[in-house]
Structures are given as C-alpha cells and as structure tokens.
C-alpha cells in the first residue's frame, strides 16, 4: 500500500468565495448562470487531478441578491452538462432531504452517476431557514431534530432504492428474450414515519452502486448523522486546534457506529488567496475586503445571530447577550462557530464581517504557493484532515493560480496524485463500492 495521499475537492461558487469577488474588474458578474464558466473550472480542476468538484444549493434565495450573484442553476442539471465536458473528475451536487422526496432524488442522482460513468456524489443537507419552508407550503422550518430524523429515513430509503436492482439483474439475452432477471429487480416495501415507498427504482443500479454520500453539518445531530451515513465530510473550522478536535471526534463517532474510520474522509474548507509574494497576497485580500458593502454584510450577520440591527455596532464587539445554540433552529453549528470565533479573537463587528466575507467561517490563508502548500501539509500530517475543500476567494483566477502553483508543490512532495489511477469518484477517494442487498424482497416488482 502506498503512502497516504491528499484528496482535493473544488467548491465552485460563482465568481469566488469572497463575497466581493464579483466586483473586481476581471470578474464576470454573470458567471453563476454560465455553462462555459463552469466548464472552464471543471476542466482546470480535472487537469490538476482534483478528486471532485462540488456545487452548493438551497431551495430558497441563496443569500441577498443585492449583495452578490444569487441565482443558482439546479445542480443535478448542471452536473449532467459537466459530465459530458469532463472524463474523470467527481461531480457532487447538494440536495435537501427536507424539500425533496426519496424516489425522485434517488433517480436524479443515479441518472448523473450513469451519465458520468460513476462520478456522482450527493451532499446531503437538511436545509435551515424559514424561507425555504415557505416555498413548500409550510409556515416555518421544521425543528432541527425533526429535520435530521427525516434525513436519516430519507437516506435509508434512497440507498434501498439504489440497491433495488441487483448488479447482475440485466442480462440482455437476445436469444431468450430476457433483458433483466425479474427476481433480481426487487421492491423495497418501505413504510416508515416520514415515507412510504414501494420501489423498485425505475433505473438499474448505477456504476458506483451508490453515489458518494457527503455531509457538512457539524451540530451534534449533524455529526451523529455523518457517523452513520457520510463517506466524505465538508466542515468549516477556523483554526488548526478546532479542526483537529473535529477530526478526532468524527473518527471516534464513526467507530462507535460500527464503521471503518478510513472510509469517512474529513475535508475542511480552506480559502486560498495567492500571490507571488506574501505582500501581494495580502494586498489582494485587502482589496477584496475594501469592496465589501457593510450594509449588506451587517444585514446577513443580524439574520444569522437572530438579533436586531440596532444591537450591533460596527466598531464594537458582539453584545454580551446572544441566543444560545439550543434556541437556534437554523444552522446551529455555523452560529456557534461564528460567535465563538468573534469572542475568542475579540473581533469588532466590522472585523468579523471582513472575515466572514472571505470564507464564511472557513480558514482563509493569504500567502505564496509554498505557504499555502505548507498549511495544507501541516493539517494533513497532524490529525486534522484527509484532504481539503478548496474554496478560491476569486474564480476563475484563484483556481488557475492554485492549479498552476500549489498543486505541483504537493505533487513534488508526494502528497497528491500526478495521474488518476481509477475511473469513479469512489476510486479517487479510495472508498469501497457498496455490495448488493440480500435483505430486499421480491414482492411488488412490476409486470
């Protein structure tokens, strides 16, 4: 067995992860709606031998449309287009368990896996916020615990549907006139608290068996869910110590759930701001921060903290009295991360807005290619990461620079592949393909 190697995922976010990136003279403010822009990013990441790319999504307006590009093409649709624009890179779409149904979503994701030759992944989210709930006829978001209970059953149903066709079901025997062996296409007959689904899926088992399962929540419910289901975890952690703590906690929970910790990869987010010199990188970071519109950023912060705007002063620290995490029904882990960060570093609201504008709580590193590579290596070799969710502050230039200057350093150090050794996303991540499910019955198969 060779030496352990990094896994790199590209997180695509229109013009870049810094909220003011769209205001730079070189940025295309319509990149969020451009297939060509996404194709360029996918091809650059694939040429650099990234494991995968990832598209975030929400069934509601994504942020404040006054602040930055807010439109989002539905990710499984976009990934279908990118599947024919690329050959090897994995393709991960975000989809909500709160505002989808298992049959339809399992079918869409399996379709992408078929069309891409086994490169699909699903970032499982439960979706916080009343805005999304009101788009689906609800007065407000379901309780945090209820959303995770639904998600648990949702993934159970989806995996059963993916397994409803055995690997050897299709024989395509022209002489006998038999296309599939009928008792190898099986009903799932699921009846639970949230879903009742007969099955089978109207699509044969996909190349990976199951699309790769990814998760990003870091609340207690989120970490327990990840321990049961996730195969890769995206996480926002601002310091090395916090990342190490999260990494150890997740691996412990995975073992307690009876799973192999080597089969659950932890990929913290990192926002690289690159320059030929550290001063040049700092100058770009400062230019981006100057372009943040405080009125929009302040409105976002008050919404996240669940406080009125008159309680926040730009040049003072956060107020002493804030809601507890237990009272938050939205993004619990992100709320706690931001409040703890602000209190620990004694940040003013203006300083906090600047840091959140760059990476929304993810680690931002401004520096030379060697400094960025050193940071990645240090985390990787010191119990903090199995790889990274790369979140360039500016796109496409930040990805171009990372692929051109940082990836070769990681390759020279023997930390990252120089060629793909497999075909599927599971191959890239070194994860096993799920086997057939002998526990599924044969009743209910359509004539």
Q: Which domains are present in the chain?
A: 7-274+362-429 (3.20.20.30)
pTM to 2 decimal places: 0.89
The SS3 of residue 38 is helix
Q: What is the pLDDT of residues 194-203, one digit of tens each?
A: 999 999 999 9
- Residue 328 — pLDDT band, cuts 50, 70, 90? low
146 is in an annotated binding site: no
Which of 210, 183, 164, 103 is closest to 440 using CA atoms?
A: 164
Q: What is the pLDDT of residues 278-323, one digit of tens each?
A: 999 999 988 988 888 777 667 777 777 777 766 777 777 787 777 6
The pLDDT value given to residue 292 = 80
The pLDDT value given to residue 446 = 46
In terms of pLDDT, which residue wins out, 63 or 10?
10
pLDDT (average), residues 75-101: 97
Other beta carbons within 10 angstroms of residue 423's beta carbon come to 15
Half-sphere exposure of 206 (CA within 13 A, CB side): 30
The pLDDT value given to residue 256 = 98
Q: What is the pLDDT of residues 388-402, one digit of tens each?
A: 999 999 999 999 999
Beta-bridge partner residues of 212: 121
The pLDDT value given to residue 311 = 77
144 is in an annotated binding site: yes
333 is in an annotated binding site: no
- Residue 447 — pLDDT band, cuts 50, 70, 90? very low
Burial class (CB in 10 A: 0-12, 13-18, 19+), 409: middle
pLDDT (average), residues 161-167: 97
Q: Please check the confidence at residue 419 and state whether its pLDDT lies above 60.
A: yes
The pLDDT value given to residue 284 = 93
The pLDDT value given to residue 324 = 65
Q: What is the pLDDT of residues 201-245, one digit of tens each?
A: 999 999 999 999 999 978 899 999 999 999 999 998 888 999 999
Q: Tokens for 111?
A: 């379709």
Q: CA-to-CA distance for 267 and 269, rounded, in angstroms?
A: 7
The pLDDT value given to residue 401 = 97
94 is in an annotated binding site: yes
What is the share, in percent, of the chain residues with pLDDT greater than 70?
92
What is the share, in percent, of the chain residues with pLDDT greater than 90?
70
335 is in an annotated binding site: no
The pLDDT value given to residue 321 = 73
Q: Please check the confidence at residue 124 and state whether its pLDDT lies above 80.
A: yes
Q: Tokens for 15?
A: 């013009």
Q: Please check the confidence at residue 331 and state whether its pLDDT lies above 80.
A: no
Q: Please check the confidence at residue 341 and state whether its pLDDT lies above 90.
A: no
Other beta carbons within 10 angstroms of residue 84's beta carbon come to 10
The pLDDT value given to residue 67 = 74
Which of 339, 293, 291, 350 is closest to 316 using CA atoms?
A: 350
The pLDDT value given to residue 253 = 98
Q: CA-to-CA distance for 249 and 236, rounded, in angstroms?
A: 14
The pLDDT value given to residue 305 = 75
Residue matched to tokens 């990013």? 41
Q: Are 234 and 269 in contact (CB under 8 A)?
A: yes
How high does pLDDT run on average in the chain? 90
Q: Please check the confidence at residue 444 and state whether its pLDDT lies above 60.
A: no
Contacts of 359 (CB under 8 A, 6+ apart): 17, 18, 236, 269, 271, 391, 393
Q: CA-to-CA distance for 156 and 185, rounded, in angstroms?
A: 18
Half-sphere exposure of 240 (CA within 13 A, CB side): 11
pLDDT (average), residues 136-146: 90
Q: CA-to-CA distance for 118 and 211, rounded, in angstroms?
A: 8
Which of 167, 186, 76 is closest to 123 using CA atoms?
A: 76
Q: CA-to-CA distance for 426 and 428, rounded, in angstroms?
A: 5
Q: Please check the confidence at residue 442 and state whether its pLDDT lies above 60.
A: no
Q: Are strands 170-173 and 178-180 parallel, antiparallel or unpaired?
A: antiparallel
Q: Please check the confidence at residue 357 and state whether its pLDDT lies above 70.
A: no
Q: CA-to-CA distance for 151 and 158, rounded, in angstroms?
A: 10
Q: Are 388 and 268 in contact (CB under 8 A)?
A: yes
Contacts of 352 (CB under 8 A, 6+ apart): 301, 318, 338, 341, 342
Q: Tokens for 151?
A: 């998600």
pLDDT (average), residues 12-23: 92
Q: Tokens for 169?
A: 């079901």
Q: Please check the confidence at residue 350 and state whether its pLDDT lies above 70.
A: yes
57 is in an annotated binding site: yes
């Amino acid at each position: 067995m060779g030496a352990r190697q990094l896994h790199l995922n590209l997180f695509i976010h229109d013009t870049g992860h810094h909220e003011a990136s769209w205001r730079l003279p070189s940025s295309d403010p319509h990149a969020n709606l451009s297939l060509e822009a996404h194709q360029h990013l996918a091809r650059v990441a694939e040429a650099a031998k990234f494991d995968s790319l990832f598209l975030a999504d929400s069934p509601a307006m994504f942020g404040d449309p006054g602040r930055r590009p807010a439109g989002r093409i539905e990710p499984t649709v976009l990934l279908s287009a990118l599947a024919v624009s690329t050959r090897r890179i994995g393709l991960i779409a975000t989809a909500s368990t709160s505002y989808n149904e298992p049959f339809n979503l399992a079918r869409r994701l399996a379709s992408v896996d078929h069309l891409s030759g086994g490169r699909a992944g699903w970032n499982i989210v439960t979706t916080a916020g009343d805005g999304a709930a009101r788009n689906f006829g609800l007065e407000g978001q379901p309780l945090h615990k209820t959303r995770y209970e639904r998600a648990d059953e949702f993934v159970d149903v989806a995996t059963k549907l993916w397994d409803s066709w055995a690997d050897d079901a299709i024989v395509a025997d022209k002489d006998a006139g038999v296309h599939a062996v009928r008792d190898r296409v099986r009903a799932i007959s699921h009846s639970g608290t949230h879903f009742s689904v007969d099955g089978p899926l109207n699509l044969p088992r996909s190349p990976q068996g199951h699309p790769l399962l990814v998760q990003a929540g870091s609340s207690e419910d989120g970490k327990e869910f990840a321990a049961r289901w996730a195969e890769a975890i995206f996480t926002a952690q601002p310091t090395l110590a916090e990342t190490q703590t999260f990494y150890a906690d997740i691996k412990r929970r995975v073992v307690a759930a009876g799973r192999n910790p080597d089969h659950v990869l932890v990929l913290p987010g990192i926002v690289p701001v690159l320059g030929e010199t550290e001063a040049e990188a700092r100058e770009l970071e400062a230019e981006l921060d100057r372009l943040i519109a405080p009125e929009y950023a302040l409105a976002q912060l008050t919404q996240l903290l669940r406080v009125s705007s008159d309680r926040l002063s730009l040049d003072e620290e956060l107020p002493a009295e804030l809601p507890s995490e237990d009272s938050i029904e939205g993004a619990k882990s992100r709320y706690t991360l931001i409040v703890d960060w602000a209190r620990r570093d004694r940040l003013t609201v203006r300083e906090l807005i600047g840091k959140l504008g760059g990476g929304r709580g993810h680690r931002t590193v401004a520096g030379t290619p060697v400094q960025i590579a050193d940071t990645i290596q240090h985390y990787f070799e010191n119990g903090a990461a199995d790889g990274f969710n790369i979140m360039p502050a500016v796109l496409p230039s930040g990805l171009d620079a990372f692929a051109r200057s940082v990836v070769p350093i990681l390759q020279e150090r023997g930390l990252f592949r120089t060629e793909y050794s497999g075909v599927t996303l599971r191959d890239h991540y070194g994860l096993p393909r799920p086997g057939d499910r002998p526990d599924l019955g044969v009743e209910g198969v359509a004539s």
